[in-house]
Amino acid sequence: MEPVSIPAERSAKKGSLEDPEILQNVPGHVIPILQREYDDFKTEATKFLEGGTPEDEFIKFRLKQGVYGQRQPDVQMIRVKLPFGGVTPEQMDKFADVVEKYAPLGKGHVTTRQNIQMHHIPLPEAEKAIRELGEAGLSSREGCGNTVRNVTGDPWAGVAADELFDLTPYAGAYARYFVRHPTTQGMPRKIKTSFDGSPRDRAISGIHDIAFRARTRESKDPAHPGEVRGAEMLVGGGTSIMPRVAPALYDFVELDNGDYLKISEAVFRIFDRQEWLRVNRARARIKVFVDKFGIDELRNQVEEELKGDWVAERDFSIEHLLFLNDEREGAPAPPATYGSPNGDLSEFERFRHANVAEQKQEGFVTVEVKIVRGDLTPEQFRGLGQIMRDYCGGYARTTVQQNFVLRWVREESVYDVWRALSALDLGGAGSREIGDVVSCPGTDSCKLGITSSMGLNKAIEERIEQMNITDPLARQIHIKMSGCPNGCGQHHLGAIGFYGASIKVGEHTIPAYIPHVGGVWEGGEVKFGQRLKLRLPSKRVPEAVERWVRHYEANHEDGEEWGRFIDRVGVPELEGLVKELSLPVDFSLESMNTFIDWNRDVPFQVIRGEGECAV
């Protein structure tokens, strides 16, 4: 939909606007690949590096291609969109190749929005990287910028017994409809979208700008009786400095007739015209509109917008856009032989209990791979790709917990899968448990980062490992952290959450975190945690976590989960347990470590650049 100038002799070339490369309906091949965009990126990057294009103009262009500036000068982050987290073995191989060639730290990062990011790539190499990723059908188009970002979904969609129906086909159609759409190229801010068919809401619908939750109803058309598929449509959620749970714009919007696309576009058109939001891009999300005017006013404006002439000019049919892929056809046959535990039974059973779930299809299970801090090496990318080929029919999805779900694994093959994962150092038990800590990259790469959230993540994981927590309720505590208040690590939703801050001590500064407790991100309705009235020096955070967990283990009632425990004992009691840890110390040789952040070797300073999310 975006105007692209294509010479006549190339107009029919595969990968052009006229002949987009949608190879087939398999995970990862959702967004059409346009080769000309890579040519344009190379041209524009060269012009910028030669001084021919102003930086602010080039940044806007660069962001639409999913290439994002870092706090380190002259290097970029590339964000690859994986709609609903889907990826193929061949794409895992391609990630490995690109990381090896262009990412100096030798790793890719799974994000809390099911993307995969690669960091520290020099701008002259970025075009080569996105072009090579495109060879495997991977797209970074609109991975950044004020566009419709990656469309997320439940990684267990299509195989979960608790879902009403699989929303994956409709998520694919939504992603395809709005990529390069003229209305969504320069909105006041970005739009994050999710689709979920389960009452457990594993896609965290409530924190999204727009979210769809599966619903059905009986047809009101006598000529076409039966069940009609639709979705509850939520609008106006978000985290950051203004956390909001999205209210329902409509209790039911029909899917198969394209109404959900039509109403979404109406919302985007209204949002795009809000010039007052563009004045302060940092507070320009659609939740600000809903917060100011209310969901009823937005609904009234949508109804008026749908009377416009533009509706007749659009094609909202979805048959040609649906992501239709019968994974069952490609699922593996029962294995002729398979392994069984031999001296490692207890370790394997711990993994099976925590990481393996039955599918609704008899004889199959999913295996959730715990990816430490969301980071994968080239060897791990390739190894996971091979496991997908050998045991999953090629099917897997990333998760909002920065993990990886292997789908369509035969029950008999779980031990062999675990052994293969263990060989890659990915066989750890406890996915989505207390030791599976979530964090954004923080000051490792982000311009807005205040603290080293990845360093704290590692320190907390090590402390939890040392604690040897056996209480099953304590193991269900989720810990999430962000390196700044913006919430990319979803700290608001952690049972225990932290965001990066600082404590001033004379001329010196201590890296610190502000804690939250009682957040809920899975199992029903979203709930934001309560902020504690203190700041903890970064090096004391692991001790604070241990004190809270040990206090919970010793004092919770039978079956009393962490959230209910907090409601009973009160936040002041948790504050009192760590009050002494929040007290600053004088700067001296003995206390120097407190003034140095995790994974750093120099005294801490708050160094923040201008983020590009709001450009």
For the stretch 362-394, pLDDT in tens is 999 999 999 999 999 999 999 999 999 999 999
CB atoms closer than 10 angstroms to residue 550 = 15
Closest CA to 31 of 105, 160, 108, 137: 137
**Would you say 327 and 25 are in contact if contact means Cβ atoms under 8 Å apart?**
no
* 3-state SS assignment for residue 397: strand
Tokens of 178: 């709005």
Question: In this prediction, what percent of the chain has a pLDDT beyond 70?
Answer: 95
Closest CA to 378 of 167, 106, 170: 106
Question: What is the reported pLDDT for 584?
Answer: 83
Confidence of residue 5 (pLDDT cuts 50, 70, 90): very low
**Would you say 265 and 183 are in contact if contact means Cβ atoms under 8 Å apart?**
yes
CB atoms closer than 10 angstroms to residue 356 = 19
Mean pLDDT, rounded, for 291-304: 98
- Type of residue found at 12: A
Instruction: Identify the residue with better confidence: 228 or 7.
Output: 228
Question: What is the reported pLDDT for 10?
Answer: 32
| Distances, alpha carbon 595 to alpha carbons 441, 488, 498, in Å | 20, 25, 18
Decide if pLDDT at 416 tops 70: yes
**Would you say 536 and 513 are in contact if contact means Cβ atoms under 8 Å apart?**
yes
Domains 1-145 and 438-595 fall in the same CATH topology: no
Q: What is the pLDDT of residues 95-126, one digit of tens each?
A: 999 999 999 999 999 999 999 999 999 999 99
Handedness of CA 8, 9, 10, 13 (dihedral sign): positive
What residue segments make up the domains of the chain, in order of their start?
Answer: 1-145, 339-365+378-423, 438-595
- Type of residue found at 343: G
Give the position of tokens 């329902």: 248
Closest CA to 529 of 283, 287, 239, 282: 239
Mean pLDDT, rounded, for 324-329: 92
Question: What is the reported pLDDT for 13?
Answer: 45
Q: Which helix H or strand E contains 286, and what residues bound it?
A: helix 286-293
Q: Which CATH architecture has domain 1-145?
A: Alpha-Beta Complex (3.90)
CA 521 to CA 508: how far, in whole Å? 37
Angle at alpha carbon of residue 556, lines to 460 and 466, rounded to 5°: 25
* 3-state SS assignment for residue 93: helix
Question: What is the reported pLDDT for 8?
Answer: 32
DSSP β-bridge partners for residue 398? 404
For the residues of 160-183, what is the DSSP string, one character each? -TT-SS--HHHHHHHHHHHTT-GG
The CATH class that applies to domain 438-595 reads alpha beta
What is the pTM assigned to this prediction? 0.93
Tell me the Cα Rg of the chain. Answer: 24
- Type of residue found at 146: N
Contacts of 456 (CB under 8 A, 6+ apart): 439, 481, 498, 513, 538, 541, 542, 598
Angle at alpha carbon of residue 186, lines to 270 and 609, rounded to 5°: 120
Q: What is the pLDDT of residues 6-40, one digit of tens each?
A: 233 333 344 444 445 444 566 667 999 999 999 99
Closest CA to 453 of 527, 402, 404, 405: 402
Q: Where would I find the beta strands (DSSP E) of 418-574?
A: 438-439, 479-482, 496-505, 508-517, 530-531, 536-537
CA 33 to CA 24: how far, in whole Å? 12
CA 364 to CA 360: how far, in whole Å? 8
Q: What is the pLDDT of residues 244-281, one digit of tens each?
A: 999 999 999 999 999 999 999 999 999 999 999 999 88
Mean pLDDT, rounded, for 308-322: 96
Each residue of 197-225: b (16+ CB within 10 Å) or e? bbeebbbbbbbbbbbbbbbeeeeeeeeee
Q: What is the pLDDT of residues 486-533, one digit of tens each?
A: 989 999 999 999 999 999 999 999 999 999 999 998 887 899 999 999
Question: What is the reported pLDDT for 220?
Answer: 86
Question: What is the reported pLDDT for 613?
Answer: 65
CA 79 to CA 67: how far, in whole Å? 7
Mean pLDDT, rounded, for 85-94: 97
181-195, 386-400, 583-597: range with lowest mean pLDDT: 583-597
**Would you say 571 and 532 are in contact if contact means Cβ atoms under 8 Å apart?**
yes
457 φ, ψ to 5°? -55, -50
Mean pLDDT, rounded, for 312-329: 94
For the residues of 68-85, what is the DSSP string, one character each? EE-SSTTEEEEEEB-GGG
